Amino acid sequence: MTPPSATAPAAADNTAFKVIAALSFCHLLNDMMQSLLTAIYPMLKSDFGLDFGQIGLLTLTFNVTASLLQPAIGLYTDKRPQPYSLPLGMGFTLVGLILLAVAHHYWLLLVSAALVGMGSAVFHPESSRVARMASGGRHGLAQSLFQVGGNVGSAVGPLLAAFLVLRYGQGSIAWFSMAALLAMVVLWQVSTWYRAKRATVAARPAAAATAVLPRGKVVLALTVLGILVFSKYVYMSSLTSYYTFYLIEKFDVSVRDSQLLLFLFLGAVAVGTIVGGPIGDRFGRKVVIWGSILGALPFTLALPYAGGLVATAVLTVVIGLIMASAFSAIIVFAQELVPGKVGLIAGLFFGFAFGIGGIGAAVLGALADVRGIEYVYWACSFLPLVGLLTVFLPDMEEARAKALRAQAA
């Protein structure tokens, strides 16, 4: 992949918005399909007689499968790009959905969750690479547009579950396999563009990818970013996995109403995601990371004490808006720390996010069984304090300027 152009306006003119839009659309379909699993947890809990620990294990199976494979796939495709791996990976999701629709044993639910996780493991690092290639240098915008598709899909999934799956039953999940087929067709076209673009880039002389910071500072910064992802995704997992149960228990709402409120939260996450990238391009990634992690703290602290349904819904919307702006900034920041390893970094951070979300869901599920679901939200409310670690992140703009001065001297 060629490095970003030296002149931002010229690079911006080369942004392939059609390719980014296709990736975002497929991300929407991918995350819509995988969000069906968490959206139907109340139904599965009732039909299969599951406890919160088993619900958490389902999330763990999906997330850990994705997290373990994503860095390996990203590293492999950095060295040997596989343009047509995108539609192939979507095939795993298709099979997982069909199996989920017909599963009558808990272990089959686990297998279907693992297959959907494998599909995500292939999709995310390679799609992130193609989005960066299509960005024309506007990396934050491209990453946000790509990710917002996933957020919209995650929001739509529970809505479809509320109106279709809960009405027609587990077997209706098979209908969503058509979305996987559609995504495979679109990704085949994207893969064809990707292959042609790689051939064009390979014909040009490429500048060597060099880091602008010493190895020790890079490791420290990556560690801090990983801890920030940990705090964000453990908290987000508490909402995506158990928010419906929290609303049902505390406010005695119906399953459908709880799904609609989950959709409201996930919609806020989508808006926050698309806002974070351009702000990072304009004002710097570090500014976005500061605000999106630590800025959510007053609202997470207030949530356990919200006495009404409306106040709870408003607080979760604000939390979703603020927290969601972080991830695209974190991904691009990490890719700038380790240039030339786009797939590896995307795989590591997407995979780490999935894995932490899964482990967090399992631990929080066990905690909910012991202490109650309301205690979970009190315990998680302090996680955004981890945002204070942002102070240890380097100023990448200053580091690049120093590197350029050193080269000129």
Question: Is the distance from CB of 378 to CB of 304 less than 8 angstroms?
Answer: yes
Please choose, from the candidates 400, 404, 331, the residue with its C-alpha nearest in 3D space to the C-alpha of residue 135.
331
Per-residue pLDDT tens digits for 213-272: 788 888 999 999 999 989 988 998 888 888 988 999 999 998 888 888 988 888 888 888
Residues 274 and 330 in one domain: yes
For residue 44, name the pLDDT band (cuts at 50, 70, 90). confident
pLDDT digits (tens, 9 = 90+) for 381-404: 999 999 999 989 888 777 666 666
Query: Pick from 199, 223, 253: which residue ends a domain?
Result: 199
Same domain, 149 and 265: no
The pLDDT value recorded for residue 12 is 46
pLDDT at 155 over 80: no
Q: Judge whether 407 lies within some domain.
A: no
Final residue of a domain: which of 199, 228, 251?
A: 199
In a domain, 240, yes or no: yes
Q: Is the domain of 310 the same as that of 266?
A: yes
The answer to whether residues 89 and 175 belong to one domain is yes
> Does the pLDDT of residue 142 top 80, yes or no?
yes
Least trusted range by pLDDT, from 16-25, 149-158, 197-206, 257-266? 197-206
Range of the domain at 238: 215-400
* 408 located within any domain: no
5 within some domain: no
Q: Report whether pLDDT(149) > 50.
A: yes
Band (pLDDT 50/70/90 cuts) for residue 181 is very high
Residues 70, 127, single domain; the answer is yes
In a domain, 6, yes or no: no
91 & 141 share domain = yes
| Residue 187: per-residue pLDDT | 94
In a domain, 54, yes or no: yes
Q: Please state the domain count of the chain.
A: 2
Confidence at residue 248, expressed as pLDDT on a 0 to 100 scale: 92
Q: For residues 316 and 337, what is the distance between their CA atoms, to the nearest angstrom? A: 32
Half-sphere exposure (Cβ direction) of 362: Cα atoms closer than 13 Å: 13
The Cα–Cα gap between 183 and 23 comes to 9
User: Would residue 209 count as lying in a domain?
Assistant: no
Q: Among candidates 150, 97, 142, which has minimal Cα distance to 4?
A: 142
Task: Report d(CA 136, CA 139) in Å as an integer.
Answer: 8
Q: What is the mean pLDDT of residues 36-52?
A: 83
Angle 109-110-114 from CA coordinates, rounded to 5°: 115
- pLDDT, mean of residues 88-111: 91
Tell me, yes or no, whether 142 and 269 share the same domain.
no
Q: Identify the pLDDT of residue 405.
A: 63
Residues 6+ apart with CB under 8 A from 338: 211, 218, 222, 344, 345
Q: Of 165, 199, 233, at which residue does a domain stop?
A: 199
The verdict on 66 and 168 lying in the same domain is: yes
pLDDT per residue as tens digits for the range 305-359 = 998 999 999 999 999 999 988 878 888 888 888 887 777 787 778 777 767 777 8
CATH classification at residue 273: 1.20.1250.20
Residues 132, 84, single domain; the answer is yes
> 262 and 368 in one domain?
yes
Query: Same domain for 232 and 341?
Result: yes
Q: Mean per-residue pLDDT for 371-387? A: 93
Percent share of the chain, pLDDT over 90: 27
Same domain assignment for residues 287 and 372: yes
d(CA 358, CA 304): 22
Q: What is the mean pLDDT of residues 85-102?
A: 91
- Mean pLDDT, rounded, of the chain: 83
Whether 409 is in a domain gets the answer no
Mean pLDDT of 32-52: 83
